[in-house]
């Protein structure tokens, strides 16, 4: 006699239920969001802004938006990596696999929850950074699309690191290494004319480069056709990275 399997609820119901569960992460993640999502990027703003204060508005714009990308990395990539590593090593992922839900709904719920939780940190970093650097912010409506598309591929990288790391400590080290590499490759925090041509070329492979470019246009301006390229690349990277995450995710649901 075949086993009695529960019929999975609609995908939207799965997503909403999982999102509500994941949003309770604020109880343990808010301290990390404050420290790494606000304080660390602001220290970067102050340090780099001190050296770049006489370099002009364009350079200061790179410092500001690069710090916002850093905030997204720590608040999304780092916390998503940490959360999925916790789910793996504490056996919680096995529990979720017994529920009538799709694996991609769990991945999406985790990513969306940390995106929502990181928004206050992102806003605080933008406002404080603009005051420190003296860079005026002019919001473009495209920001509503830019912020999610900047955060999603970075969060996807964090999820992938959470699944491939053999230990939580290894995952933490990998996350720090990837963060430093992505910030250092390409014109993220430093204008391209201040970087070697090799780094600028390698930066074209990094989602952080496109995220910084899109944020710069949507927050400071001017908005050009480059933003379409940036968003298209970020969307494509999101699809590829999340496909890899789904393939790597150990889902034992029969």
* DSSP assignment string, 135-179: PPP---TTHHHHHHHHHHHHHHHHHHHHHH-SSHHHHHHHHHHHH
What pLDDT does residue 5 have?
56
Short-list 171, 151, 176, 148, CA closest to 161: 171
What pLDDT does residue 139 have?
87
Q: Do 188 and 209 meet the contact criterion of CB atoms below 8 Å apart?
A: yes
Sequence-separated contacts (24+) of 25-31 with Cβ below 8 Å: 25/79, 25/83, 25/113, 25/114, 25/117, 26/117, 29/79, 29/114, 29/117, 30/117
Give the residue carrying structure tokens 């920001």: 143
Q: Do 84 and 175 meet the contact criterion of CB atoms below 8 Å apart?
A: no
CA 105/CA 125 separation, integer angstroms: 30
Dihedral of alpha carbons 215, 216, 218, 220, sign: positive
Cis peptide before 222 (omega within 30 of 0): yes
> What are the structural domain ranges in the chain?
23-248
Give the residue carrying structure tokens 């350079």: 59
Q: Do 81 and 159 meet the contact criterion of CB atoms below 8 Å apart?
A: yes
Dihedral of alpha carbons 162, 163, 164, 165, sign: positive
Q: What is the mean pLDDT of each run of 10 residues along the chain (254 residues)?
A: 62 90 78 73 76 75 89 86 88 85 89 88 86 86 93 92 88 89 89 88 92 94 92 95 86 53
Give the residue carrying structure tokens 């080290």: 173
What pLDDT does residue 212 have?
94
What pLDDT does residue 54 have?
66
């Amino acid at each position: 006699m075949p086993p009695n399997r529960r019929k999975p609820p609609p995908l939207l119901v799965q997503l909403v239920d999982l999102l509500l569960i994941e949003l309770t992460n604020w109880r343990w993640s808010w301290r990390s969001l404050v420290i790494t999502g606000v304080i660390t990027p602001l220290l970067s703003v102050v340090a780099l802004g001190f050296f770049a204060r006489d370099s002009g508005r364009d350079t200061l714009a790179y410092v500001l938006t690069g710090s916002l990308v850093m905030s997204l990395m720590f608040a999304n990539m780092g916390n998503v990596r940490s959360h999925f590593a916790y789910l793996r090593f504490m056996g919680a992922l096995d529990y979720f696999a017994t529920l009538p839900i799709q694996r991609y709904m769990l991945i999406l719920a985790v990513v969306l929850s940390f995106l929502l939780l990181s928004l206050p940190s992102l806003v605080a970093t933008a406002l404080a950074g603009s005051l420190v650097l003296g860079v005026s912010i002019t919001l473009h409506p495209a920001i509503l699309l830019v912020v999610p598309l900047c955060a999603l591929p970075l969060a996807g990288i964090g999820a992938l690191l959470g699944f491939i790391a053999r230990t939580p400590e290894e995952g933490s080290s990998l996350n720090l290494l990837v963060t430093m590499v992505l910030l250092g490759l390409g014109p993220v925090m430093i204008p391209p004319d201040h970087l070697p041509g090799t780094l600028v070329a390698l930066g074209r492979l990094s989602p952080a480069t496109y995220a910084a470019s899109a944020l710069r246009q949507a927050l400071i301006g001017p908005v050009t056709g480059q933003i379409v390229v940036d968003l298209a690349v970020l969307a494509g990277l999101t699809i590829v990275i999340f496909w890899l995450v789904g393939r790597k995710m150990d889902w034992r649901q029969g």
